[in-house]
Amino acid sequence: MLSELLLTEMTRLAEKDNMPLHRQLYEAMRRSILDGKIGAGDRLPSSRELTQDLKVSRNTVVAALNQLSVEGYLLSRVGSGTYVNESLPKAQAKAQHRNSSGSPAQLSKRGSALSATFCATQLEVQPFTPGIADFSAFPVALWQRLQNKHWRMTYPDMLDYSYSGGYAPLRRAVADYLRVFRSVPLDVDQVIITSGTQQSLELSAQLLGDHGDTVWVEDPAYWGAVKAFMATGLHIHPVRVDQHGMAPDGGDVQNAPRLIYTTPSHQYPTGAVMSLARRQQLLSIAASYNAWILEDDYDSEFRFSGPPLSSLAGLDQDERVLYMGSFSKVLYPGLKLGYLVVPKRLVDPFKQAHYDLNRPGQMPLQAALAEFIELGHFASSLRRSRQSYAQRRQCLLEALQPCLGKHAQITGAEQGLHLCLRLPTQVDDKALARRIAELGLTVRALSAYCLARTDVKGLVIGYGYAPLADIARCGPILAKAINAELKKI
């Protein structure tokens, strides 16, 4: 019987390692899954049944199940319970087990968990792929000229590592932009040029969280952030998102955060804009737990309707918000440049650690970007992209119009490069996304971004990548597939 199996394993773990109870249960279940003692696709007893059988508190069971769901071992199906993930590859499961039992190590436990969950590489880039900008519009010839100029002018220092947070004129240009357009109050000194938001997240997690510390993550969430936190050994605590953004409640507050990761301007992927009340609530929670907030402002450059939004960092009186932005969507992703704005008291340790851990460089590239911004090319490139994305967005909204009604609503279309079509919970959005993929279109199931929730269904649809003509041609095909699904309800 499952409970006996788990109890035996938990007792063994308690004798060997002095772990808290929820960790014992998590580890016991994980090992039993990897061992095949709990089979792929098996349905687990409910948390109430497990609570009774194991004679532990419900919180202990829920914490263990949540962590296993976050790491991809378990999947929840609405109305029918929790199951062992069938797609945990067998070979990988064996490798994971060998690692966990200490024999021929291939991947660490962390490495196994990282490779078992959320794989962005599986996603094909074709019309409607979310999160991808149209970098074909980037002014390549101009960029080449600027790069050549900086290579010609390059003096030996520019070929060295970058020691002080990045090329000073680029840091100044970023600071000027953020002060004016994002109301971030800052000194140039606080800006660190990184190789993108992913690196900003990793650096923040490495420097501010210890192994096992809790990070609050929005649920549904941006995969890149989840992976960065998993990689740094943080305990991921999912916090529900509603129409006003991240919505912590009493249960969340019992899991004291060390870090809070949020996308307040345009929640990724639902698109919710965090209300002022929520922003203040989050800042006050952070203050009461002495926690840090990581604000990922990934697509605010493209705002199409609604009042202009300022950043959460702009409201921060207490110096607890680390603000991060990226040039991946506004210029092109392979540029691999972004910025992290840290509170003054963190400037020195962050610059030092950035240097020690990453050995940043690419000064001629940074110099070309600084000049690109100073000469006004960045602003005009943004203006052009904004216009072009606004047309694509409008075209997609019109194509989806016939789907909208009681069962389907659009959220998050005011900004960015994607919108979210919310569907009723009984829709299998992953199956729908697969059917749409057979038509040569890529959308993502909203539930695929969920960490612990089972009540969120929909499609995340991008309009950044495909040209207007493709959106006009493929929009009705997409709408027809969605409507066919809605008719089944």
**How many residues form the binding site for ligand PLP (CB under 6 A)?**
14
Regarding 338 and contact with ligand PLP (CB under 6 A), the answer is: yes
Regarding 333 and contact with ligand PLP (CB under 6 A), the answer is: yes
Regarding 300 and contact with ligand PLP (CB under 6 A), the answer is: no
Contact pick of 73, 118, 216, 222 for ligand PLP (by CB under 6 A): 222
Tokens of 174: 């970023």
Residues 437, 288 contacting (CB under 8 angstroms): no
The C-alpha atoms of residue 72 and residue 187 are separated, in whole angstroms, by: 41
Residues 30, 39 contacting (CB under 8 angstroms): no
Regarding 296 and contact with ligand PLP (CB under 6 A), the answer is: yes
Window contacting ligand PLP (CB under 6 A); options: 10-18, 193-201, 243-251, 376-384: 193-201
Regarding 123 and contact with ligand PLP (CB under 6 A), the answer is: no
Antiparallel, parallel or unpaired: β 338-341 and 321-326: antiparallel
* Continuous H helices in 101-246: 109-116, 140-153, 168-181, 197-208, 223-231
Nearer to ligand PLP by C-beta: 177 or 298? 298
Contact pick of 135, 289, 298, 332 for ligand PLP (by CB under 6 A): 298
The C-alpha atoms of residue 194 and residue 171 are separated, in whole angstroms, by: 11
The C-alpha atoms of residue 353 and residue 172 are separated, in whole angstroms, by: 21
| Structure letter (DSSP) for residue 234 | P
Report the nearest approach of ligand PLP to the CB of residue 421 (Å).
18
Report the nearest approach of ligand PLP to the CB of residue 19 (Å).
33
Q: How many residues does the chain have?
A: 489
Regarding 26 and contact with ligand PLP (CB under 6 A), the answer is: no
Report the nearest approach of ligand PLP to the CB of residue 13 (Å).
36
Contact pick of 131, 412, 464, 475 for ligand PLP (by CB under 6 A): 131
Tokens of 26: 């998590």
- Binding mask of the shown chain, residues 238 to 277, with x at each position contacting ligand PLP by CB under 6 A: -------------------------x----x---------
Q: Of 255, 320, 251, which Cα lies nearest the Cα of 283?
A: 320
Contact pick of 127, 165, 196, 462 for ligand PLP (by CB under 6 A): 196
Q: What is the dihedral of CA 65, 67, 70, 75, to 10 degrees?
A: -20
Report the nearest approach of ligand PLP to the CB of residue 237 (Å).
18
